[in-house]
Amino acid sequence: MSVAILIIDIVNDTLKRDTPLSSAILAFLPALNQFLAQARQAGHRIVFSIDSFQEIAPLFQGRMKPYSIEGTKRAEVVSEIMEPRFLILTASEFLAALEKEKE
């Protein structure tokens, strides 16, 4: 059986804010890194899902300020868990890869 570890939305904009969520993630990073090291050693795939937006997204039409803008450093996986050998795909690249795999 193939195993994949899914890491969701641990991007610069989430981590670099002064919020309870950011504080919780920072406190959790050492344990996460230890877990990811064990998963890599066991040969498991690690998948990072990032939430990124365009500045004109309807989400930002109200009081919410733009964050995690697509194509910026702010929308990238935090360096504290990122490794150079990881492959990063945009949503459209990921969907295209899934379609190709179906062929």
Q: Exposure of 79 by Cβ count < 10 A (0-12 exposed, 13-18 middle, 19+ buried)?
A: exposed
The whole-number pLDDT of residue 30 equals 92
Domain boundaries defined on the chain: 4-102
Average pLDDT rounded to a whole number, residues 76-90:
72
pTM score: 0.69
Using one digit for the tens of pLDDT, what is the confidence trace for 31-82?
999 999 898 899 888 888 887 888 888 989 988 888 888 888 988 888 888 6
Mean pLDDT for 73-102 is 75
Check pLDDT > 90 for residue 97.
Answer: no
Q: Using CA atoms, how far apart are residues 66 and 53, in angstroms rounded to an integer?
A: 8
**Mean pLDDT throughout 1-21?**
84
